[in-house]
Structure 1
Amino acid sequence: MKVLVLGGTRFFGVHMVNSLLRKGHHVTIATRGKALDIFGDTVGRIIIERTNPDDLSKAFAKKYFDVVCDNLAYCSNDVKYLLDSLNCGRYVMTSSASVYANQHLNTNESEYDPYSHSLKWCTRQDYPYDEIKRQAECALFKAYSKFQAVAIRFPYVIGEDDYTQRLYFYVEQIIKGNPMRIDNLDEQIGFIGSAEAGNFLSWIAEQEFVGSINSSTIGTISIHEIVNYIEQKTGKRAIYSGEGLEGKYNGQKSFSLDVSRATNLGYDFSELKVWIYDLLDKYIDKAIN
């Protein structure tokens, strides 16, 4: 297949592109051209300004892609500008678990229905993150129903290549002895690894499924469990203080995603606690060295 990828030069986008290439697909990445990538001559490249509709129209004129994988659709205007500008058979959009207003353990896809949401054409600055992601899905399914489209809802994505460094924060502060203010030590939180997120995106691109779908590692873990592991491995003690640095996952209540829709389609997710401690070990090595 001819696959166009927007947002393929870092984090889980790199894993997605590599997975697509391994499967023999012809991949073109669309970027602003400001960041180097690792793909050499294995991919095609198109330079775009993602939020400029005129630029997109020029870049994609007379081009067709079997699948478009879009990791950069943050709002309804992003969806509009892109889908008004290109022809494709299938459109795969990276969405977020943030679309769920009431997150809880085993949150399922029916708990946010983009078809019943009021569509507002908006920019990335118009609303908080959760609402602009709802609007992106709403635009996709209500205004562009002619496309064979799927929206993937991820929880927090983590990995060695996580540029947000949210999980690494806890490792670093414990090792440095910096006080932390944490308000959710015992809440159970769901995650997915960056490599698995990329693999899932490349897998769903090949399927016929349309609609919204959750994608998450199986199981949850608490910040308390994470802290306890770091303490045991380093011999350091976490310091808690109301005046300390704010925990990066503060405010997050217990939640996980029900992935039965994806598993019923045949995708086999990993178990979180099989690999997260290895990731923490790598973070510990990084913080020490």
Structure 2
Amino acid sequence: MDVCVIGGSRHFGRRLIGELRDAGAVVTVVNRGSTPAPEGVTHLLADRDDEAALRTVLGGRRFDAVVDQVCYSPLQAAVAARVFAGRTRRYVLTSTVEVYAELGRPGGPAVPEEAVDPSAGSFDLELPWADGPFLEDHYGEGKRQAEALLTREASFDVAVVRTAHVLGGADFTGRLAHYVERIERGLPVVVHPVPQPASFVHEPEIARFLAWTAAADFTGPVNAASHEALEARQLCAAIGGVTGAEPKLTTGPDELLSPFSFDRCYAMDTGRASRLGFGFSPVADWLPRVIKEARDR
């Protein structure tokens, strides 16, 4: 396969590039060059928001598949739909569990893909997507609209991978480290009075799934998450089991709440991925190892 990865400079994006390369794919990475690309791949420098620059750097290249790691808005999706028309037969958009942010409810079931149908979704290119704070504040909505634009307007096949909260690897978010540090230091961890379950996925596994999706032929959205959702108290208990420190849980105002504490169900139904032939591992298989890694950093 000849695969183009847009982004891929950090976290599971770099792991994805390695997965593709080691499986024998010819890999081209397109990003702004903030970090060097892994060895054995072609590295093209361009800002994906600059349509002319993107066209120029791609030249006459054609790809079997594109994996877009850094599409956050319908504006970026529209550029991709134009630039990659005639250049690829398949486009994989890395999306997020946050597209379901308004749908979960306390005690609710795991959310299936059909809860947010990108083929019926709308998008608004006039919103200030180029404004950094606006984009950050509307992360889930930006992803929803990017999904809708690509699904409805692109001339190539589109698969959407809705990624659970990723743990492990070179995690730059510091969210798991927040828990580990506070629990080991005996500091209180602020959670909701009744935290709701959320889905997680291991960094190497989401990279494998994205590489697998690039070579597959299905279209539409698919949820990507390990089996067994966890709520914040369970995550704290797992950390306590690894560190030997007793978690001290408390409640407090929203601005003090710990990451991964939610007041609505954030669990995702992964039945479609299973039916397509990819089996995710249980959280218990990898979480203790990831906690140890976060502790040792």
Assess same fold via TM > 0.5.
yes
- 1:148 pairs with 2:157: yes
Change (3 A) 1:91 1:252: farther
- Shift of the alpha carbon at 1:19? 1.2
**1:159 corresponds to 2:163:** no
- Whether the 8 Å CA contact 1:178–1:245 is kept in 2: the answer is no
- Cα distance, 1:194 vs structure 2: 1.0
- Aligned partner of 2:58 in structure 1 is 60
One-letter amino acid matched to 2:30: A
2:235 is matched with which residue: 226, 234, 242?
226
Residues 239 and 288 in structure 2, CA contact (< 8 A), matched pair in contact too? no
Offset at residue 274 of structure 1 (A): 1.5
Q: Name the count of aligned residue pairs.
A: 283
Q: Secondary structure at the match of 2:88?
A: strand
Q: Verify the 8 A CA contact 2:63 2:89 in the aligned structure 1.
A: yes
Matched, 1:193 2:191: no
Please, which of 117, 122, 136 is the counterpart of residue 121 of structure 2? Answer: 117
Equivalent residue number for residue 177 of structure 1:
186
- The whole-number CA distance in structure 1 between the counterparts of 2:45 and 2:193 is 42
Instruction: State the Cα distance separating 1:241 from its structure 2 match.
Output: 5.9
- How far 1:137 sits from its partner (Å)? 0.5
Question: Is it true that 1:248 corresponds to 2:259 in the alignment?
Answer: yes
Supply the distance in 2 between the matched residues of 1:228 and 1:25 (Cα, whole angstroms): 41
Identity %: 28
| Other-structure match for 1:79 | 77
Mapped partners of 1:45, 1:130: distance in 2: 29
Residue ranges of structure 1 left out of the alignment (5+ in a row): none
Contact 1:185/1:223 (<8 A) preserved: no
What residue in structure 2 maps to residue 134 of structure 1? 144
Tell me the CA shift for residue 6 of structure 1. Answer: 1.1
Contact conserved, 2:167 with 2:203, CA < 8 A, in 1?
A: yes
Q: Distance in 2 between matches of 1:133 and 1:252?
A: 22
Answer with 191-200 or 254-263: which moved more: 254-263
In 2, Cα distance between equivalents of 1:30 and 1:117: 28
Answer yes or no: is 1:271 the counterpart of 2:272: no
CA RMSD of aligned residues (A): 2.0
Normalised to the residue count of structure 1, the TM-score between the two structures is: 0.90
Q: C-alpha separation between the residues in 1 aligned to 2:116 and 2:157?
A: 19
Counterpart position of 1:215: 224
Query: Which segment is superposed worse, 130-139 or 233-242?
Result: 233-242
The answer on whether the counterparts of 2:231 and 2:260 sit within 8 Å (CA) in structure 1 is no
Q: Which amino acid aligns with 2:75?
A: N
Query: Unaligned regions of 5+ residues in structure 2, if any?
Result: none
Contact 2:72/2:143, CA 8 A, preserved across alignment: yes
Aligned counterpart, 1:259:
270
Q: Is the 8 A contact 2:12 2:203 kept in 1?
A: yes
2:6 maps to amino acid:
L
